[in-house]
Amino acid sequence: MNVCRWFRFPEKSDDAHWAGYIGDDEMVMMRRMGLRHVRLCIAPQLVMTPVTGAPKEHEWGYIEKAIQRFLDHGLAVVVDMHNENRRDEADPAWESQFQNFWGIAAKRLSHFDPNRVFLEIVNEPVFDHKESEWKVLLPRLAKTIRASAPRHTIIASGANWGGIYGLQQLEPLADRNVVYSFHTYDPFPFTHQAATWAGEAVKPLRGVPYPSSPEAVAPLLPGLPEESRKMLENYGRERWNREKMTENFRQAIDWGRKNKAPLYCGEFGVFPVAAKPEHRANWFRDFGSVLKQNRVGWASWGWDEGFGFDRHRVGGKIVVDPVVAKALGMNLP
């Protein structure tokens, strides 16, 4: 389960937030629901010192305390360096700083139980039209981490937003203790309907159904802009259902089997603003069952984001989206 807002785009950046964004009661609830690990998203700009890249002592101290608290409550931790600045990733100066950061941070993290703390090199590397640069940088970063944390599992992903296509293009690292991650939000017209940041075509989409068929989407077509209408028509023709989802995963599964590499789906979810609850339930149920069938570990996006569990408090009580929790086989709080 992704913990998205503790050390990534926090609403507050004070000691109270760093120390207690997720309380002990919430960690107990997570474990009782059936969660076994969290993917702790950390924005590099919050914890890296400019120029040198060394971890900022004050902020990094809180991260180590957060990791220990999760462990104390029976939750393993993926330490995810969640870079979202695409200009940085292909900048040689930043790459050098990031490598230095990982050399120090991995050493700091090496005292944690290697069976319960995992080191994810970077979230969703893009390297648009520069995939060859990632193929050089990835093993360099992995070697740096391995030198500082010889026993810990490393999590790596391909370029192109860390998706299935990027995974297929990836050469496995010369390291036997690596898990390979991919993210997928397919089918996009369903998972991103009404999103305002994901292109013009999905903005006007409302009530997009899952499963899909030409008949199911037909009532939604009148009045849509041409680009949106074509997208939705194509979505209907593709007939997305569990069988189609299984087919969509096959390329990742085949890559893992070919390379004898364990896989991890580190992000998936559905934007809830315009999707009907019953359709979201169908999608999460199918998605989770396909992952389970193929023995792929997963982390939904996210615990504290609307795409997934949408944790919030009502009258002091922690509340999560019951539709998503039930569809993924969790125990309802």
pTM for the structure as a whole = 0.96
Residue 89 DSSP SS3 = helix
**Per-residue pLDDT tens digits of the chain, which is 333 residues long:** 999 999 998 888 899 999 999 999 999 999 999 999 999 999 999 999 999 999 999 999 999 999 999 999 999 999 999 999 888 898 999 999 999 999 999 999 999 999 999 999 999 999 988 899 999 999 999 999 999 999 999 999 999 999 999 999 999 999 999 999 999 999 999 999 999 999 999 999 999 999 999 999 999 999 999 999 999 999 999 999 999 999 999 999 999 999 999 999 999 999 999 999 999 999 999 999 999 999 999 999 999 998 999 998 898 899 999 999 999 999 987
The order of strands in the sheet holding 263-267 is 2-7, 37-42, 76-81, 117-120, 154-157, 178-183, 263-267, 297-298
Structure confidence at residue 146 (pLDDT): 99
d(CA 281, CA 324): 6
Structure confidence at residue 90 (pLDDT): 84
Question: Which residues make beta-bridge pairs with 180?
Answer: 156, 263
Structure confidence at residue 12 (pLDDT): 83
Q: What six digits make up the tokens of 207?
A: 């009530």
d(CA 161, CA 125): 5
Structure confidence at residue 327 (pLDDT): 97
d(CA 267, CA 302): 8
Structure confidence at residue 21 (pLDDT): 96
Q: What is the CA radius of gyration of the chain?
A: 20
CATH assignment, 2-187+240-327: 3.20.20.80
Provide CB contacts within 8 A for 121, sequence distance 6+.
81, 102, 138, 141, 142, 145, 154, 155, 156, 157
Helices 57-72 & 92-109 angle (0-180, nearest 10) = 50
HSE, side-chain direction, 13 A CA sphere, residue 252:
29
- Per the CB < 8 A criterion, the answer to whether 324 and 280 are in contact is yes
DSSP codes, 167-221: HHTPPPPS-SSEEEEEE---SHHHHTTT-SSS-GGGTT--S--SS--HHHHGGG-
d(CA 330, CA 34): 6
